[in-house]
Structures are given as C-alpha cells and as structure tokens.
Structure 1
Amino acid sequence: MDCTADDEEIEGFITAREFYYIQMEKYARQAVSEGVKNADDLHVSADSEIYRVLNLHYNRNNHIEVWGPQVPSNFRYVVEQTLREFFKAIQGGKDTEQSWKKSIYKIISRLDDPVPEYFKSPNFLEQLE
C-alpha cells in the first residue's frame, strides 16, 4: 500500500497529538497524586518539566526558540488549560468512564490556532537557520 504525503502528514499529526495528550494525562495524574487540590494551582512556564518534555519531543534539534516568534503566542496557555482539564477530570473520577477524554478534546480544540504558513513550507527548517 502506497502512502501519500497527505496520509503521512495526517499520521504525523495524530502521533504528535497522541504524545501531547499522553503527557497531559501523565502530569495531571502526578499532580493529583502529589495532593494538588485546585486546577488553578497548576501553572506552566518555560521552566516547567512538562514544557521541557514537550519541547524535547517536538523541537528535538532546537530549531525553534522556546519563546521565539515561531511559537504560537498562546501555546503555553493551551498547555496549561489542557493540563487543568485533565486534572479536573481525573480528580472528579471522570477517568473511570469509557470516553472521558472526548470532552477534554472538544474543549481544547476550541483553543487551537491555525497552523502558521511557515510550518507548511517544505523548507521550513532552512528558514529558521
């Protein structure tokens, strides 16, 4: 079976999103186990472990400055909101329900920005150098 460029892009997108949500669940569970009581107490900064893990995964070669102009301005905010949504669901016992993550995906999808045009360019990495 031949894989088209579009299929590869879709598969890459799904894999990237899957990693993101796995990390959110992991860190939300960690916060619950550490006794965090309120989702508003969870904050994400450039120094946060979760931010570092995401940066290492998505920016392996450090082509993008963590706070540079290529990073969407609300990225940190979306990470923080995603973490809080997972935390609230886990803390509230929603994770025992079969499709408990769907409501989180729906909330977070509203925060999505369109993919910047420069990311779509075939020579994107060359533009960063």
Structure 2
Amino acid sequence: MERFARQAARDGAACLGRDSREPPLRLGRDTELYRILNMHYNKSNDYQVPDRFVEIAELALREFFTAIQTGRDSDPCWKKSIYKMICKLDSPVPDSFRLPGCPIG
C-alpha cells in the first residue's frame, strides 16, 4: 500500500487504474494493487472479495498518499493513525472463515 502511494506521489497522483478517466488513486478490481492484495489475503481465490474491502483499501491508499504528500511520513509513528482509521472501519469475521472448534476474536 505504502509503495503504491509513494509511486502515485512521485507520478503526481497519476491514476492507478487502467482507465485514465478514473479519479486519482482509485483502487479498482483491475488494478495491480488489488491483484497483489487479493493474492496475499486470498491465495487460493476461494472467496469473493467484498466491495467493502475494495472501498476501505482505496480509502487506506488515499490516507497513505495524503500522509506522504503532507510530510507526515517523516514521523516514526506515521502509520499508526492510518491503522486506527482502518480498524474503525473493520467488519466482523464471517462465520464461513471460522474453522470448527477454533474461536476467533
């Protein structure tokens, strides 16, 4: 996420999607960042990625970008506020992800 935000900052907030008419820092299902996130969290592609995940990931990307653009990334704890924001938007883990006999949370 940080790497893509830094690249966007270097490129002058160029669009991360394939369609140049999309707004800057849009994380669509056709972007490289989406592919990387999906491969990391959904290796075997067993699950349909919820739209909410895409929305929150896009919001996080924009937060990283803004922090980099405004110089907040010079603070050693600069990511903490972004992680707190993401945590507040988090959804409960669906039952389908739970293994029998293994309580989560």
Higher gyration radius (CA): 1
Within 1, Cα distance between the matches of 2:81 and 2:45? Answer: 33
Offset of residue 84 of structure 1: 0.4
Alignment match, 2:72: 94
Higher relative contact order (CA 8 A, sep 6+): 1
Alignment gaps of 5+ in structure 2 = 15-22, 101-105
Aligned residues: 92
Amino acid at match of 2:13: V
Within 2, Cα distance between the matches of 1:107 and 1:50? Answer: 20
Matches within 5 A, 1:83-122: 83-122=61-100
Amino acid at match of 2:40: H
Offset of residue 103 of structure 1: 0.9
Within 2, Cα distance between the matches of 1:102 and 1:60? Answer: 27
Alignment match, 2:8: 31
Task: Give the match's secondary structure for 2:89.
Answer: coil
Between the two proteins, what is the percent identity of the paired residues?
51
Offset of residue 82 of structure 1: 0.4
Which of 41, 53, 77 is the aligned partner of 1:58? 41
* Cα deviation digits, residues 31-70 of structure 1 (max 9, x gap): 0011118xx6211111011000111122222222xxx3xx
Amino acid at match of 1:96: S
Amino acid at match of 2:7: Q
TM, length-normalised to structure 2 = 0.80
Offset of residue 72 of structure 1: 3.1
Amino acid at match of 2:2: E
